[in-house]
C-alpha cells in the first residue's frame, strides 16, 4: 500500500474509498507532520492538523484533481497549520510568527503577509523572482518560508553554517524587496 502511486490514491478519493485516507497517511503522513510541526512546534496540534488535512483532501477530491498530490497536501498542511497557529497564539514569539515578521520587510506596507500572499499578482511576482535566483538561494528561501524550517535545520541540510544561512536569507529578502519595488509594488 505504501508504494501506491499518487494517481491510484487520487482515484481512491474519487470513488470515495476510505482506503484513500490510510494510503495517504502511509505515504505522506510524515511529510504533513513535518510541515505542521515546523509551524506549530506542538505534537498534539500537529496530529490535529494532520487529521484536518485528510478531511480537507477528502472534501476537495473530487471535484479537484491535483497534478501533484504531495504539493496539494503540503499546501493544505501549511495553510491549516498557519490557521491553527494564528488561532492559538497571536502573540507568541518564534515559529511562524518570526517568519511572518521576516517577510513583512519585503511585502507591501499596510498589508498583512497572509492577505498579500493570497493575491495572485504578488504570488506571480514572487514566483518570477524565485525563478531568477540561484538554485541554492531558492532552496534556502523555500525551506525557510514555505516549509518553515529553522535556520539550524537549513544549515545542517545544506552543509552551511547558521550565519551563512541567515545572511543568505537577509540578502534574498532585500533582493525580493527591490524586485517588488521595480515591479511597481509599494513596499
Q: What is the DSSP letter of 119?
A: S
Domain ranges of the chain: 6-88, 95-182
At 126 the pLDDT is: 86
Nearest-5° Cα angle at 96, 64 to 133:
75
**Cα–Cα distance measured from residue 104 to residue 110, given in angstroms and rounded to the nearest whole number:** 10
Q: Exposed e or buried b for every residue in 118-131, given b needs 16+ CB within 10 A?
A: eeeebeebbeebee
pLDDT at 165 over 60: yes
Residue with cell 509599494: 186
Compute the distance between CA of residue 88 and CA of residue 27 in angstroms, rounded to an integer.
Answer: 29
Q: What is the mean pLDDT of residues 112-133?
A: 71
CA atoms within 13 A on the CB side of 7: 0
Q: How confident is the model at residue 185 (pLDDT cuts 50, 70, 90)?
A: confident
Cell 499578482 belongs to residue? 121
Greater confidence (12 vs 93) lies with 12
Q: What is the predicted pLDDT for the residue at 93?
A: 46
Cα 139 to Cα 135: distance, rounded to the nearest angstrom: 6
pLDDT in tens, 61-118: 999 999 999 999 999 999 999 888 887 765 444 455 556 556 666 665 444 555 544 4
pLDDT value at residue 116 = 45
- On whether the pTM is more than 0.75, the answer is no
At 13-65, the pLDDT tens digits run 999 999 999 999 999 999 999 999 998 989 999 999 999 999 999 999 999 99
- Residue 84's Cβ-side half-sphere holds a number of Cα atoms within 13 Å equal to 26
- Residue for cell digits 490510510? 22
**Contact (CB, 8 A) for 59 and 35:** no
CATH code that applies to domain 6-88: 1.10.1740.10
Cell 521576516 found at: 102
Helices 95-104 and 69-88, packing angle to 10 deg: 100
The pLDDT assigned to 118 comes to 46
Q: What is the pLDDT of residue 180?
A: 87
Task: Please give the CATH topology (third level) of the domain spanning 95-182.
Answer: Arc Repressor Mutant, subunit A (1.10.10)
Amino acid at each position: 500500500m505504501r508504494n501506491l502511486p499518487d494517481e491510484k490514491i487520487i482515484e481512491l478519493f474519487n470513488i470515495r474509498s476510505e482506503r484513500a485516507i490510510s494510503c495517504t497517511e502511509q505515504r505522506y503522513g510524515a511529510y504533513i507532520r513535518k510541515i505542521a510541526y515546523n509551524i506549530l512546534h506542538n505534537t498534539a496540534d500537529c496530529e490535529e492538523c494532520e487529521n484536518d488535512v485528510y478531511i480537507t483532501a477528502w472534501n476537495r477530491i473530487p471535484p479537484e484533481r491535483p497534478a501533484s498530490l504531495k504539493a496539494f497536501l503540503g499546501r493544505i498542511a501549511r495553510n491549516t497549520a498557519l490557521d491553527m497557529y494564528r488561532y492559538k497564539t497571536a502573540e507568541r514569539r518564534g515559529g511562524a510568527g518570526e517568519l511572518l515578521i521576516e517577510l513583512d520587510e519585503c511585502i507591501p506596507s499596510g498589508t498583512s503577509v497572509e492577505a498579500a500572499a493570497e493575491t495572485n499578482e504578488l504570488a506571480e511576482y514572487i514566483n518570477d523572482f524565485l525563478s531568477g535566483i540561484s538554485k541554492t538561494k531558492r532552496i534556502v528561501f523555500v525551506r525557510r518560508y514555505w516549509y518553515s524550517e529553522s535556520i539550524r535545520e537549513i544549515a545542517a541540510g545544506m552543509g552551511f553554517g547558521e550565519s551563512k544561512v541567515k545572511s543568505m536569507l537577509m540578502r534574498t529578502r532585500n533582493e525580493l524587496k527591490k524586485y517588488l519595488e521595480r515591479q511597481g509594488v509599494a513596499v
